[in-house]
Amino acid sequence: MTTPRGHVLLLGKIHEDAMQLLRSHHELTHEVLEKPAEDEIFSRLAQADALIVRTAQLSAELMDNAHQLKIVARHGVGYDNVPVEVLSRKKIPLATTGNANAITVAEHALYLILTLAKRGSAFDRAMREGDWESRNRLQGSEISGKNLLLVGFGRIGREVAKRALAFGMRVHVFDPYVNSEQVSESGATPISNLEDFLPDTDFLSLHLPFTAQNRHIIGAAEIKALPTTAYVINTARGGLIDEEELLKALDAGELAGAGLDCFEQEPPPRNMELFSSDKVVFSPHNASLTAECTRRLGLVCVENVVDGLTGRLQRDRVVNWEAVYS
């Protein structure tokens, strides 16, 4: 087995078990920058052979000056903070953590669906205020028999479908990049036209990456097409939903509620207008940050670094495989 050699730069802390794995490779040195400024990244990146990145934004200029870099390992599956085109041009693979977070994020999506349907936040708040009579005034709803529309059917979307089907939901999938037979085999129903199914949707859950094409894929027209009883859930990426139009619909009673784990600006400003709505359940983009998943993410990142430095990367984890290895 080839021994990995070089210097690893970590932008953000990873799980201690993953750090122990990194330290076990004695020919590797490493440095952790917890909350680095861009100029600090710039100077340190020049000496790095491998990079592990969490949420730090990497500019094209930064990556252009990483002259000895051989592998970038993203702590997660999204990579909108990494200039992939620069890495591809420089023949540097970008590896993600594959399915390491799929179950955890799927569970979080179900948590948001259930909290919204059962009016969890409202009942919790009422109880803390001594409002026992809320039980006769507020009503939750069942999710069994309800239409769940998944936009995106990758690793996470498929795990959401499994769990939703177990709850008796009718699962429908819009994903033009996935074969309809695959969707049907999972027990879900493929949808060829997003707009056509929106009026029949009870819960809409997003599971796709943020790209220029996907920006505001749920915008004014899509929100208007949903029933007033519908809920929108986003555990994917900020920017997929037009937040301004979402708030308008919530305030006007044109939408029942939303569950949001990610936002157009992160962290969102404290005066973000959506915070004024009691119809939204919020979480701080932590859908994948359970104890178990954080450990898996860190371990897979270190595996990807070692594999990248020894020429053994797994193809299904590399975003730009064809650009790098063709």
Cβ-contact 239, 217 below 8 angstroms: no
DSSP state of 268: P
C-alpha 175/C-alpha 171 separation (Å) is: 13
- The one catalytic residue in 16, 266, 292, 312 is 266
Non-local CB neighbours of 268 within 8 Å, separated by 6+ positions: 274, 275
Cβ-contact 258, 231 below 8 angstroms: yes
- Please confirm, yes or no, whether 285 is among the known catalytic residues: yes
Q: Is residue 90 packed enough to be buried (19+ CB in 10 Å), middle (13-18) or exposed (0-12)?
A: middle
Q: Helix H segments across the chain?
A: 16-23, 38-45, 60-64, 84-89, 102-117, 120-128, 134-137, 155-166, 180-185, 194-197, 220-225, 243-251, 291-309, 321-325
DSSP state of 267: S
Q: What angle do CA 99, 92, 306 make, to 5 degrees?
A: 60
Cβ-contact 295, 17 below 8 angstroms: yes
Would you list the DSSP string of 112-161? HHHHHHTTHHHHHHHHHTT-TTHHHH------TT-EEEEE--SHHHHHHH
At 239, which helix (H) or strand (E)?
none
Residue 205 bridge partners (DSSP): 150, 233
C-alpha 253/C-alpha 246 separation (Å) is: 11
- What are the structure tokens assigned to 318, written together? 């590399």
- The one catalytic residue in 285, 296, 303, 317 is 285
- The one catalytic residue in 25, 108, 207, 237 is 237
| Residues catalogued as catalytic | 237, 266, 285
